[in-house]
Every structure is written in structure tokens, then in C-alpha cells.
């Protein structure tokens, strides 16, 4: 069967990928906007849409060229329709609609978070369902129970910041470049993760939901109380020891919090796989600790290579493969949606320890 083109523009990465109908990634091209947003210390939605407008056509052409595939060879086009930044989504959706219409191929709209949840299967196709899946990025911290790629329900979600946001915000406050998550991952090993005794977030309702704002406030309080400060734009490789200790302790607590909930849910729900995806799933401490947790529980763990953890179109096309044989909606009915909801999984034993 002919290959499939995937398009992803939901946030600040412009991406296109070409996959064979049996899931082999022939090409995956990502144009990052980090340089566009770095001076602002976070994503500026208007700048993101404009950058997608500029980058998407050449990114699609590069993906086709690397795959050795022409526009006319495509079986279908898959595009992220939501959730995400509306202006960014509209660029990808409009492009994909026009391309699908002019090529007379089906257009398959894809949910971005569900594409992340499916991404571990790109490299581990034999992973079993049901899976307990952590989706952790700059915009999401959700724990999902996936009975199949299409049947997913929420076990826990964040009440405030996402895990990546929590890392990025502390890094910004400490004068480190944006995005802070990968920098913290690279330098936190120089600090003592037990140096700052942050307590683990708890929900008074006993819910398994995540919350990172208390942790962030505790870190800022620690800096104020001890009169610790760093100038903006400081060199991550030349920080005082207290800063490495703080980052190591903070990163450890973010990981503890994510995995404590995942372990509890796993003991109750008995999944056959533990997986994670999203930008924060690149974190080396989180990857190591999830692997150890899987060994402790006797459950297979898997996470994608970093290129499939952060936003990418390969995961979008990969999820859409499941729908190649289903009737596709008419292009004119496909629209961008900025938010998404999933059913919640309620279980009497799903309460935090
Ligand atoms: O999935 P993603 O590329 O974009 C969305 O937010 O959808 O995730 C970006 C987030 C940022 O918060 C970034 O700091 C974080 O993922 N991140 C990391 C690492 N790499 C990216 N956080 C911790 N450790 C990393 N190695
Ligand atoms: Zn994402």
C-alpha cells in the first residue's frame, strides 16, 4: 500500500513525516522554534503560528524528499487537529485540508495527546495493551489507562502546571536558558538530590491527580529564604553548588511525584505495559526510574527515543495508520480543536497513599 504523510503543528515544532502502511518511518523532519521563543522565556502563540506558516511547506517537501516519495504517491494525509494552540493548529489543518483535497486522498484528523500515547509502539510494536501511559510535556501531565489506541481514559491529570512547565519555570527563575527541562536534565547530576528536602505534593481529596505548583513555590521560597539568586542568562556549566543541589532535588521530586502516582495506579489497574511519552519523557532520571519501577512490579516498560518523545509528525501518522481502512471524514468537516477531554477512570481503590 502507498505511504502516509503526517503533519504536526500543534505547538512550537513544525513537523512532517512519511510512514509506510506497516508503520516504518521513512522520514521524520522537525523544525524547532526554540530560537524564536527563547528570548521570551516561553512560547508566544502569535510567533508560533507565523513560524509554522514559514516552515511547514519546506518541512513537508523535505520529508517527502528524504522518503523518496512524491505527493502523488501518498495514500492519505494525517494531521494533528488538536489539542494545542489554535493558531498553530490552524496552519497544519488548513495545509493538510488543501493538500488532501487537491490530491484527492483521505484526510485523517488526529488527537495530539493520543498520538503521544501511541508513540512507544513505533519502536516497540509488540508491546501489550492495556497500558498505563504517562503523557508528560510542557503542556500535559496526564496518566492514562489505554485499553487500546482508541480506548483511553484518564486516571490522573495535573491540577495546575504540567511537569515540563514546572521544570521550565524554575529554570527561568534561576536565569537559565529556555527550555529549562533539557538543561536541568544535563546538569542536575552535579548536585545532591537529597540536599533540599522538598515534600511530595498531596491532594486533600485523596485523588491521584498531579500538582506541581506547591513544589515550584517551595523552590522559590528556598531561594528567597537563603538569599540565593543568579543573574539572567547565566552559564549552566558555571553555577554555584547550591544551584546544582536545588535543581537535583527539584528534578528528583518531580520524578518521585510522577512515578508515585503511576505505581499506585498500576497496582490497582494491573496493566501489561508501563509507557511514557512527551518531551519530559526524554528525562534521563525519569527513564531510569521508570525502568526500575517496571522491574520491581514485573511489568514491561517502554518509552520512545527522544526524537519521538518531543512533538513529531511520525507519531501522528503512526496513530492514523489504524484508521486507513475506515471511511475518512470529508476535508470540509475537519477543524482544529484547541482542547480535548477524555473519560475519567474512576475506581474506588484509585486514591493516593
Ligand atoms: O512534548 P514537547 O516537545 O512539547 C509540548 O509541550 O507539547 O515537550 C516540551 C517539554 C518542555 O517543558 C521541556 O522542558 C521538556 O519537555 N523536556 C524535558 C527534557 N526534554 C524536553 N524535560 C526534562 N528533561 C528532558 N531531557
Ligand atoms: Zn506534545
Pocket of ligand 1 contains residue 311 by CB under 6 Å: yes
Quick one: pLDDT at residue 84? 96
pLDDT at residue number 75? 96
Is the dihedral angle over the CA atoms 234, 236, 238, 240 positive or is it negative?
A: positive
Give the integer Cα–Cα distance in Å for 309 and 117. Answer: 10
**pLDDT 10s digits, 9-41:** 999 999 999 999 999 999 999 999 999 998 988
How do 25-32 and 131-136 pair as beta strands? unpaired
Distance 348 CA to ligand 2 centre (A): 31
Model pTM above 0.85: yes
Query: From the CB of 83, is ligand 1 less than 6 Å away?
Result: no
| Distance from residue 116's CA to the centre of ligand 2 (Å) | 7
Look at residue 329 in the predicted model and tell me its pLDDT: 83
Residues of the chain with pLDDT under 50: none
DSSP strands (E only) in the chain: 4-8, 13-19, 25-32, 76-82, 107-111, 131-136, 141-146, 152-157, 273-277, 300-302
CA atoms within 13 A of residue 198's CA, in its CB half-sphere: 30
Ligand 1 atom closest to the Cα of residue 310 is 3
How far, in Å, from the CA of 176 to the mean position of ligand 1? 15
pLDDT, one tens digit per residue, over 297-348 is: 999 999 999 999 999 999 999 999 999 888 888 888 899 999 999 999 977 7
Q: Which atom of ligand 1 is nearest to the CA of 171?
A: 14
CA separation, residue 77 to residues 24, 86, 264, 319, 320 (Å): 16, 20, 39, 12, 9
Contact 255, 289 (CB under 8 A): yes
Give which of 191, 142, 143 is closest to 170, Cα–Cα.
Answer: 191
Amino acid at each position: 500500500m502507498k505511504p502516509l504523510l503526517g503533519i504536526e503543528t500543534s505547538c512550537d515544532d513544525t513537523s512532517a513525516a512519511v510512514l509506510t502502511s506497516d508503520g516504518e518511518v521513512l522520514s521524520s523532519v522537525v523544525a524547532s522554534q526554540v530560537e524564536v521563543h527563547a528570548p521570551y522565556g516561553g512560547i508566544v502563540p502569535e510567533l508560533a503560528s507565523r513560524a509554522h506558516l514559514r516552515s511547514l511547506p519546506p518541512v513537508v517537501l523535505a520529508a517527502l524528499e528524504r522518503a523518496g516519495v512524491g505527493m502523488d504517491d501518498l495514500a492519505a494525509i494525517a494531521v494533528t487537529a488538536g489539542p494545542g494552540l489554535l493558531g498553530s493548529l490552524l496552519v497544519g489543518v488548513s495545509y493538510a485540508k488543501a493538500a488532501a483535497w487537491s490530491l484527492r486522498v483521505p484526510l485523517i484528523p488526529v488527537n495530539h495527546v493520543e498520538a503521544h500515547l501511541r508513540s512507544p509502539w513505533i519502536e516497540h510494536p509488540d508491546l501489550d495493551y492495556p497500558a498505563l501511559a504517562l503523557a508528560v510535556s510542557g503542556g500535559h501531565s496526564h496518566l492514562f489507562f489505554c485499553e487500546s489506541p482508541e480506548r483511553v481514559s484518564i486516571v490522573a491529570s495535573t491540577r495546575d502546571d504540567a511537569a515540563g512547565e514546572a521544570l521550565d519555570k524554575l529554570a527561568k527563575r534561576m536565569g537559565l536558558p529556555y527550555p529549562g527541562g533539557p538543561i536541568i536534565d544535563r546538569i542536575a547530576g552535579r548536585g545532591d538530590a537529597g540536599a533540599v528536602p522538598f515534600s511530595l505534593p498531596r491532594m486533600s481529596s485523596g485523588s491521584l491527580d498531579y500538582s506541581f505548583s506547591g513544589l515550584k513555590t517551595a523552590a522559590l521560597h528556598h531561594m528567597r529564604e537563603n538569599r540565593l539568586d543568579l543573574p539572567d542568562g547565566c552559564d549552566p556549566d558555571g553555577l554555584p553548588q547550591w544551584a546544582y543541589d536545588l535543581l537535583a532535588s527539584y528534578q528528583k521530586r518531580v520524578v518521585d511525584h510522577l512515578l508515585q502516582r503511576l505505581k499506585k495506579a498500576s497496582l490497582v489497574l494491573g496493566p501489561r505495559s508501563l509507557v511514557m511519552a512527551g518531551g519530559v519523557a526524554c528525562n534521563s532520571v525519569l527513564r531510569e526510574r521508570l525502568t526500575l519501577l517496571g522491574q520491581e512490579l514485573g511489568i514491561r516498560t517502554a518509552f520512545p527515543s527522544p526524537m519521538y518523545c518531543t512533538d513529531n509528525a511520525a507519531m501522528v501518522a503512526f496513530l492514523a495508520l489504524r484508521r486507513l481502512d475506515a471511511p475518512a471524514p470529508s476535508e470540509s468537516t475537519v477543524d482544529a480543536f484547541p482542547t480535548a477531554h477524555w473519560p475519567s477512570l474512576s475506581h474506588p481503590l484509585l486514591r493516593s497513599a
